[in-house]
């Protein structure tokens, strides 16, 4: 785990973590130039924090500040039965419904509801029901962010925030999934939406193999 964190710090320092994710992101040079410096500074800070396992301390903090946390249910874990190597990790993930953090975030960005994956915790501004199609897709999307944290550390957070403002969630749909073979060519939000399609529709592609290998 520590070796992986050190590797990510080196990749951030070199700028590799930023540039290798631009194939399906914005091709406008001015947009990349605008976000590179803030990404580099924030990414470097987060990569250093990862060396001290700050991400996992978030779960402890949430357990202290929120009383409505729970583990994933057996039905929720079953959604990821094709990822047996992740079962142990997913059993450690905490879900917070009616989370004060999600509600505060929704208020800040003026949305009625919000879901977010923060390290190995997931926060929803309301209760969810995976029997509901939209809730299920929402839940799987946030699970993807926890897997990004597992394999890449906290750096996925600034990347996701930048993606929301510049590159967006759209990755090209099923046609892209048929031909893409590198999960790391996509930003974290695109990856999460790809993960939803692959997990819920059982769509087979080389990206599934990338997910199984943890190449987020």
Give me the pLDDT at residue 160, please: 85
Q: Which of 59, 124, 66 is nearest to 93 (CA)?
A: 59
Digit-coded pLDDT (tens) for 113-126: 999 999 999 999 99
Q: Find the domain containing 123 and state its range.
A: 2-213
Give, in degrees to the nearest 5, the angle at Cα 125 between 124 and 128.
55
Residue in this structure with the two tokens 């692959």, named with its chain if needed: 198
- Residue 203 DSSP label: -
Share of the chain above pLDDT 70, in %: 93
Digit-coded pLDDT (tens) for 31-82: 667 777 877 888 888 888 888 888 888 888 988 888 889 999 999 999 999 9
Q: What is the mean pLDDT of the chain?
A: 87
Q: Using CA atoms, how far apart are residues 79 and 178, in angstroms rounded to an integer?
A: 22
For 190, half-sphere exposure in the C-beta direction (CA atoms, 13 angstrom radius) is 28
Q: Using CA atoms, how far apart are residues 41 and 168, in angstroms rounded to an integer?
A: 21
Digit-coded pLDDT (tens) for 145-183: 999 999 988 888 888 887 777 777 888 888 889 888 889
Q: What is the mean pLDDT of residues 179-199?
A: 91
CB 24 within 8 A of CB 147: no
Residue 138, pLDDT above cutoff 60: yes
Give me the pLDDT at residue 100, please: 93
Residue 22, pLDDT above cutoff 60: no
Digit-coded pLDDT (tens) for 89-107: 999 999 999 999 999 999 9
Q: Which of 206, 209, 192 is nearest to 147 (CA)?
A: 192
Whole-Å CA distances, 16 to 7, 24, 50, 66, 189: 11, 16, 18, 37, 19
Q: Which of 159, 157, 208 is nearest to 180 (CA)?
A: 208
Residue 23, pLDDT above cutoff 70: no
Whole-Å CA distances, 18 to 8, 28, 31, 32, 205: 11, 14, 13, 9, 24
Q: Using CA atoms, how far apart are residues 89 and 110, in angstroms rounded to an integer?
A: 33
- Residue 120 DSSP label: T
Ranges of H-type helices in 52-172: 54-65, 74-78, 87-90, 100-108, 133-152, 156-165
Q: How many domains does the structure of the chain reveal?
A: 1
Write down the pTM of the prediction.
0.88
């Amino acid at each position: 785990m520590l070796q992986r964190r050190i590797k990510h710090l080196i990749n951030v320092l070199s700028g590799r973590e930023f540039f290798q994710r631009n194939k399906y992101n914005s091709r406008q040079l001015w947009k990349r130039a605008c976000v590179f410096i803030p990404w580099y500074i924030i990414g470097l800070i987060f990569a250093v924090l990862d060396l001290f396992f700050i991400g996992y301390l978030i779960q402890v903090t949430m357990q202290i500040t929120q009383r409505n946390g729970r583990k994933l249910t057996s039905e929720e874990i079953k959604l990821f039965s094709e990822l047996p190597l992740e079962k142990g990790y997913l059993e450690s993930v905490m879900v917070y419904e009616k989370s004060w953090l999600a509600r505060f975030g929704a208020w800040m960005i003026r949305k009625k509801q919000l879901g977010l994956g923060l390290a190995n915790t997931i926060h929803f501004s309301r209760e969810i029901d995976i029997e509901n199609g939209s809730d299920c897709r929402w839940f799987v999307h946030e699970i993807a962010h926890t897997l990004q944290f597992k394999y890449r550390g906290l750096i996925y957070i600034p990347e996701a925030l930048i993606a929301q403002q510049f590159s967006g969630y759209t990755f090209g749909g099923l046609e892209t999934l048929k031909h893409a073979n590198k999960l790391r060519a996509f930003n974290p939000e695109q990856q999460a939406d790809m993960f939803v399609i692959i997990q819920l529709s059982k769509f087979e592609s080389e990206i599934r193999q990338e997910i199984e290998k943890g190449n987020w």
